[in-house]
Chains A and B, each alone.
Chain A
Amino acid sequence: MSSTITSGSSDSGPGVRPALRYLLLCLFVLAAFAASLALGSVRLPLHDVAALFTGGRMQHGSSRAILLLFRLPKALTAMTAGAALGLAGLVMQTLFRNPLAGPFILGINSGASLGVALVVLASGGSAGGVLVAGLALSGNLGVAAAASAGSAAVLLLVLAVSRRVQSVMTLLILGLLFSYGVDALTTILINFSAAERIQTYISWTFGSFGGVSWPQYWVLLAAILAGTALTVISIKPLNALLLGEHYAVSMGVSLRPARLILILASALLAGTVTAFCGPIGFLGIAMPHLARALFRTSDHRTLVPSTALLGMLVALVADLIAQVPGSDTILPLNAVTSLIGAPVVGWVILRRREFRGAFGS
């Protein structure tokens, strides 16, 4: 009996070594980050952008303010949100063994939308016509709070149901049904609302990284770090779940706690992003596929960091595009992520033959 020690735990196929790929990915992320700082509606001299880090004097009077107050938090938000959505999507795809699963598959998104709709559309209150009133916290923080409350409510519902449900497929279907039901409630609210409020609500649904100020960013970051931590400790059960729930259990995974942690992680990650940035589609579904294709593996030890990095990169790029640098207009972020995301997923899935078998298609 020979005992050949074969290639260790790396799963990459032939070609560029994974370490190099990570490096390239990081470089791209840095480049996108720099571009986010340098480009925007207002033309800033590049010198000023560099001066932000070197501490030099700025030429343009507003540069420092614009960079520190607007571009830096926006870029950081994009990176944080992109990573969060990618990870949430990854977790959902593995948990439900479904390549079309995304962070919002359990209706968390719908819950957040309902929360925001309640606050934006239905409040009559004291503070004036269009936006939030009647909450102790008003304004953006109020919207974020409402969105979080909405997500949490749906999450609790989902968790309560998941305790009684054996099959994860049932959970998926129930999650979809929650989405529809909650969306219906939101539609009813829209039906009874004034035009300006509907406009506001619709603006929210476009998604944006730019509405997050520094104090809000720290809250966002904390939640995302928590969600990421939960994801990281789930790498082992996630890998076991690649073989399906029966095998995972047979290899020692405690299914109920594992599911709970994964759902919680996804809710924290996706729910918080939705609360602060509005519902941003497609990143969650597309990034895990992109990571799988680029690193040629389904091993979560690789997928978790690579999906996070890719999420950062694509979110930054999407935001740049939505900014339409040089002009004063901005595009809805959601439209850009979908326009980027859809062809990417299509390309990835169609191009890789062996990949097509990856989900038993």
Chain B
Amino acid sequence: MSPETIQSPLLTARGLTVGYHLSGGRTRVVLSNIEIELNRGEVVCLVGANGAGKSTLLRTLAAMQHPLSGRVEVAGADIALLSPKERARVVSVVLTDRFDPGYITVFTLVSLGRNPYTNWAGSLAQEDRLQVDRSLAQVGIEELASRSLPQLSDGERQKAMIARALAQETPLIILDEPTAFLDVTARADIMQVLLDLSRQTGKTVILSTHDLEFALRSADRMMLIMPNGTLKTGAPEDLVLQGSFSEAFRSPNVEFDQNRAQFVLKRGMRGKLRVRGEGRALTWTVHALERIGYTISSDDSAAAPSDSASAPIDSAPPLVSVESAGDGYRWELAVRRSGGPVEHSVYDSIHALADAIRGFG
């Protein structure tokens, strides 16, 4: 796809405050003073801790709920002022609502997305049918078209719902946790579908997700809900570098490692180790040792503690070396006990190695 030329943004929100009206005239503010500007063709991930207000924000953007103040404009129009039918041509949604429509086919389900375009009786014109077929193909479920809904797996169902949203032909699609109830493979599948469809159709897709890795990998833009009830938006990398991630996900047990764009458990540090090896074996050995709680100095050029008297005593951390052996690998651990000689031990699995290292204390 050619790079987007500069166009007016698809969705803007200014001074938006979202929340609820409670009984007795009180209000509960969930997020305040939000400024959003999204362009066409962007994949936007909304992340935040549970209960932080993702659903509230999405519902407000989709006009399923009124903002406490401010407004949302999509394609230049204030969505609160549009009629339901006009709105349906501008934004479509995929929600977490559980429902059971009973015995309808996938084709019928997807064709419901054509509601804003069909006549009073809901009959499908040629154009409508084409659009439905296209949506089915886009999402990759053409062969499921005549299956009935109860027969589908969760993943297939979700795809059908996305196809329906697609068939609605809106420039904006909003999805609330589209992979929430899916298993790992289905999850990856759905995410890929969303990416593809945005790239191929130029639609703006906003989705909330807990899958940070995916967001960091694939999102054009992220919206991050901060603990103080504000929203930070930007390219994922920008948000990382600004430290927003760490701030958003601050917790006593976990911290966001900016280098590796991962969450790591803040376990107590057990000590330091040096690791020597190559390729995959090296990567995963380091992974295991860090998981146990060791800091790795990646200096693999340091010499193993030797028996030579000139080597500094106790200064070099133990060394783990990994090398191929037969069909697998072999690990060697060289430790200098205080004041003693270097002990070498050999293990044929990370499991055994880890057990041994843990045994050190």
Answer whether A and B touch in the complex at a CB cut-off of 8 Å: yes
Residues of A within 8 A of B (CB): 1-9, 11, 13, 97, 233, 235-236, 239-240, 242-244, 246-247, 249-255, 292, 296-299, 301, 354-355, 357-360
* A246 to B92 Cα, complex, angstroms: 11
Contact A250:B108 (CB < 8 A) given known A7-B146, A298-B101, A360-B99:
no
Q: Closest residue to A361 on the B side, CB-wise?
A: B100
Besides the contacts A297-B103, A301-B122, A354-B150, what 19 more A-B pairs have beta carbons closer than 8 Å?
A2-B137, A4-B145, A6-B145, A235-B122, A236-B118, A239-B112, A242-B99, A246-B97, A250-B91, A250-B92, A252-B85, A255-B84, A292-B102, A292-B103, A297-B104, A298-B102, A298-B103, A301-B121, A358-B100
Ordered by A's residue number, 30 sampled pairs between the chains whose C-beta atoms are within 8 Å are: A1-B138, A2-B137, A3-B130, A3-B133, A4-B137, A7-B107, A7-B145, A9-B111, A11-B105, A11-B148, A235-B122, A236-B122, A239-B122, A242-B99, A243-B101, A246-B97, A251-B88, A251-B113, A252-B87, A252-B89, A253-B84, A253-B115, A292-B102, A296-B103, A296-B148, A298-B103, A299-B108, A358-B102, A359-B100, A360-B99
Q: In the bound complex, how far is the Cα of B112 from the Cα of A249, in angstroms?
A: 12
**Bound-state Cα–Cα, A3 to B105, Å:** 18
Q: Within the complex, which residue of B88, B98, B105, B137 is in contact with A252, where a contact is CB–CB below 8 Å? A: B88
Does B134 sit at the interface, judged by CB under 8 A? yes
Given the interface contacts A242-B101, A244-B99, A254-B84, does A1 sit within 8 Å of B112 by beta carbon?
A: no
Main secondary structure of the interface of A (DSSP, over half): loop
Residue of B nearest to A253 (CB): B84
Q: Are A250 and B88 in contact (CB under 8 A)?
A: yes
Task: Type the 1/0 row for B263-303, where 1 means its CB is closer than 8 Å to any CB of A.
Answer: 00000000000000000000000000000000000000000
Distance to closest chain B CB from A263 (angstroms):
19
User: Measured between alpha carbons, how far is A6 from B111 in the docked complex, in Å?
Assistant: 12
Q: Which listed residue, A2, A8, A236, A244, touches B115 by the CB 8 Å rule? A: A236
Report the Cα distance A6→B141, complex, angstroms: 11
Q: Is B151 an interface residue (CB 8 A)?
A: yes
State in angstroms the CA–CA spacing of A193 and B85 once bound together: 55
CA distance A2 to B130 in the complex (A): 11
Contact between chains at B142 and A240 (CB < 8 Å): no
Residues on A with beta carbons closer than 8 Å to the beta carbon of B2: none
Expressed in whole angstroms, the minimum distance between the Cβ of A295 and any Cβ of chain B is 9
CA distance A19 to B213 in the complex (A): 52
Asked if A298 and B104 sit within 8 Å, CB to CB, the answer is: yes
Q: Which of A239, A296, A359 has the most CB of B within 10 A?
A: A239
Complex: A252 Cα to B62 Cα, angstroms: 12
Residues of B within 8 A of A6 (CB): 107, 133, 136, 142, 145-146
B103 close to A242 (CB less than 8 A): no
Residue of B nearest to A251 (CB): B115
How far apart sit A358 and B113, CA to CA, in the bound complex (Å)?
21
B residues 67-122 with Cβ under 8 Å of A? Answer: 83-85, 87-89, 91-93, 95, 97-105, 107-109, 111-113, 115-116, 118, 120-122
- Whether, in the assembled complex, B129 has its beta carbon less than 8 Å from a beta carbon of chain A, the answer is yes
Which A residues touch B109, using CB under 8 A?
A: 243
**Complexed CA–CA distance, A244 and B146 (Å):** 22
Residues from chain A with Cβ under 8 Å of B129 in the complex: 5, 8
Q: Is A233 a contact of B120 with CB atoms below 8 Å?
A: yes
A299–B149 Cα distance when bound, in Å, is 12
| Chain A residues within 8 Å of B121, by CB | 235-236, 301
A354 touches B122 (CB 8 A): no
* B168 close to A (CB within 8 Å): yes
How far is the CB of A256 from the nearest CB of chain B, in Å? 10
- In this complex, what residue of B is CB-closest to A355? B103
Distance of A213 Cα from B89 Cα, bound (Å): 51
Residue in B101, B113, B151 whose Cβ sees the most chain A Cβ within 10 Å = B101
Report the separation of the CA atoms of residues A354 and B150 in the bound assembly, to the nearest whole angstrom.
6
Q: Does B64 make an interface contact (CB < 8 A)?
A: yes
Chain A nearest CB: distance from B16 CB in Å?
20
Interface assignment of B316: CB less than 8 Å from any CB of chain A: no
Give bound CA distance, A5 to B109, whole Å. 15
Report the Cα distance A7→B129, complex, angstroms. 11
Q: A232's closest neighbor in chain B, by CB? A: B121
Interface string of B224-238 (1 = CB under 8 A from A): 000000000000000
Q: Cβ of A252: which chain B residues have Cβ within 8 Å of it?
A: 84-85, 87-89, 115-116
Chain B: minimal CB distance from A170 (Å): 14
Q: How far is the CA of A247 from the CA of B167 in the complex (A)?
A: 14
Q: Is the CB of A358 within 8 A of B103?
A: yes
Task: Say yes or no for B124: interface residue by CB 8 A criterion.
Answer: yes
B310 to chain A, nearest CB (A): 70
Task: Tell me how far the C-beta of B154 lies from the nearest C-beta in chain A, rounded to whole angstroms.
Answer: 13
Q: What chain A residues lie within 8 Å of B89 (beta carbons)?
A: 252
**CA A73 to CA B358, docked complex, whole Å:** 91
In the assembled complex, how far is the CB of residue B124 from the closest CB belonging to chain A, in whole angstroms?
7
Contact pick for A3, options B103, B112, B134, B146, CB 8 Å: B134
Contact A9 B124 (CB under 8 A): yes
Most buried by B among A239, A250, A360: A250
Which residue on B lies nearest to A5, using beta carbons? B133
For A297, the closest partner residue in chain B by CB is B103
* A359 to B124 alpha-carbon distance, docked (Å): 27
B residues 156-214 in Cβ contact with A at 8 Å = 168
- Which of B100, B102, B118, B148 has the most chain A CB within a 10 Å cutoff? B102
Q: Whose C-beta in chain A lies nearest to the C-beta of B106?
A: A6
Q: Tell me the nearest residue of chain A to B83, going by C-beta.
A: A254
Closest A residue to B107 using CB positions: A6
- A-B pairs, top 4 by smallest CB distance, nearest first, are A252-B88, A298-B102, A6-B145, A242-B101
Tell me which residues across on chain A come within 8 A of B103, comparing CB atoms.
11, 13, 292, 296-298, 354-355, 358
Given the known interface contacts A7-B146, A239-B112, the answer about A246 and B95 at a Cβ–Cβ threshold of 8 Å is yes
Question: Which residues of chain B are near A299, meaning CB under 8 Å?
Answer: 104, 108
Closest chain B residue to A248, Cβ basis: B115
Complex CA–CA separation, A12 to B142 (angstroms): 18
CA distance A244 to B99 in the complex (A): 7
Q: Assess whether A240 is in contact with B115, with CB atoms less than 8 Å apart.
A: yes
CA distance A243 to B115 in the complex (A): 13
With both beta carbons as reference points, the residue of chain A lying nearest to B87 in the complex is identified as A252
Measured in the bound complex, the distance between the Cα atoms of B94 and A243 in whole Å is 11
